[in-house]
Structure 1
């Protein structure tokens, strides 16, 4: 498994664990520490000096010792798992940065020194995102938009829908500069990538898809960003990375039937196994 595949496998490895517990590992470990202290207090109460007329249940101290031992074992396992999750997240971020670096190398005029540091992966919600809606109908997840934000987004989307790719690319780029980090950022990145593909600029398009997926994997645009990234990598001749990336779409976004169908079609084009 090569660069992209290892990265995406890391992302998938984190998702099931996050979905099984609402508390963080640190919360669980803290709860165990509190229980351990309470066990110690109880043991001290059972080990008071002097005689007593109270008869303790048979085997009470043995059971407390067994509980204490089990708490120690669970605490150690929790710390080990927390360490492994941290290592996976760091490794995934490093490999994602490598992929971005390679895309920059293939892009004429790309300034490698201007590439930002990819944030550590992990900690995101594992709830599968809904398929991306058409550009003309942006999804905000209930977030309040700035004045004119939706209007500007729709106007750029109309340019894309009409086939005016240069205008659409310019408008989506301007949109992201005007509303940086807004609720439509990921969808704007994907739409800008589509516009760039329409202009034949697949390398820049792949960069936009990568930025959308890396920065907003749980956004509504996540499924589309991932399959389009895989398809763009294939178009650039990176077939191994393309196939592994496309293979991850169904696992990362099992509820996104449209993205899965698109990924399967792209896999067929590139003869992915």
Structure 2
């Protein structure tokens, strides 16, 4: 048990490689270059007098700075992308280890395993512009808040793939959706959708992990009761009957008015829960 947590700590320590140049350094260089570029452009601007000329040295400096500015901008975008992916991947790996450790530890309640936030504590940015009003049934989607541009359409595409039985494609679309709109209003619903798709594809263990993430990360969301119910059902299918019984009992306790209370009780009877 202690060795397992040491692995978790080691993974966290190695998740973000040490860089000689940080994003702040790059952004500072970018600011300096922009100021210098503005100065050179002012030097190239005429004041109305015909005697003002531009030397070749200034043009050479301008071209060099413009080239360097393009390089720094590209490098900033590359570093931001890499840091975001490393943070998310590291968090996913830590969450997987946490789930496995809980499975090995006697008495550990899988329904209470928390979701690991991205390393560094920040989310990748997304287009947060509110989506225009839609007549395609936005109100039927299980979310609260404003959607980013194209967010509804991307979610519905994944949902349609799931409903059509194309489980592999649906799982991929939901995964891509969560990467594109991290921590968005539809994040918990996307986790449940991905879990259903994985379940349909026969990957019960990964489906259970998605349901666990949806419930533990968003216990007050509209899909939390369904996520908790499905988590309990999958735990039972995986042979963890005691944990399944406890988890399924929590559906009625935590969400007494939910439509999934009855389904959870039926599953409890199926697993012969006391």
TM-score (norm 1): 0.52
Match for residue 101 of structure 1?
A: 100
Q: 2:169 aligns with which of 167, 170, 176?
A: 167
Moved segments of 4+, more than 6 Å: 96-99
CA distance change for structure 1 residues 236 and 166 in 2, over 3 Å: closer, same or farther? same
Q: 2:231 aligns with which of 229, 237, 245?
A: 229
Please state whether the residue corresponding to 2:191 is helix, strand or coil: helix
Q: Does 1:262 align with 2:263?
A: yes
How far, CA to CA, are the matches of 1:195 and 1:254 in structure 2? 27
How far, CA to CA, are the matches of 1:269 and 1:117 in structure 2? 32
Corresponding residue pairs, total: 153
Question: How far 1:137 sits from its partner (Å)?
Answer: 3.5
Does the 8 Å CA contact 1:103/1:203 hold for their aligned counterparts? no
Question: How far 1:255 sits from its partner (Å)?
Answer: 1.1
Match for residue 200 of structure 2?
A: 198
CA deviations 1:155-198 (Å, max 9, x no partner) are: 11011111111111000000000000000000100110000000
Q: Does 1:182 align with 2:181?
A: no
How far, CA to CA, are the matches of 2:138 and 2:208 in structure 1? 18
CA distance change for structure 1 residues 165 and 136 in 2, over 3 Å: closer, same or farther? farther
How far, CA to CA, are the matches of 1:135 and 1:160 in structure 2? 18
How far, CA to CA, are the matches of 2:181 and 2:162 in structure 1? 19
Does the 8 Å CA contact 1:135/1:154 hold for their aligned counterparts? no
Structure 2 spans left out of the alignment, 5+ residues: 1-94, 105-113, 119-136
CA distance change for structure 1 residues 175 and 98 in 2, over 3 Å: closer, same or farther? closer
How far, CA to CA, are the matches of 2:197 and 2:229 in structure 1? 16
Please state whether the residue corresponding to 1:245 is helix, strand or coil: helix
CA deviations 1:99-155 (Å, max 9, x no partner) are: 6234788xxxxxxxxx97479xxxxxxxxxxxxxx99932222x1100110011011
**CA RMSD of superposed structures (Å):** 2.9
Please state whether the residue corresponding to 2:140 is helix, strand or coil: coil
Question: After superposition, where does 1:243-254 map in structure 2 within 5 Å?
Answer: 243-254=245-256
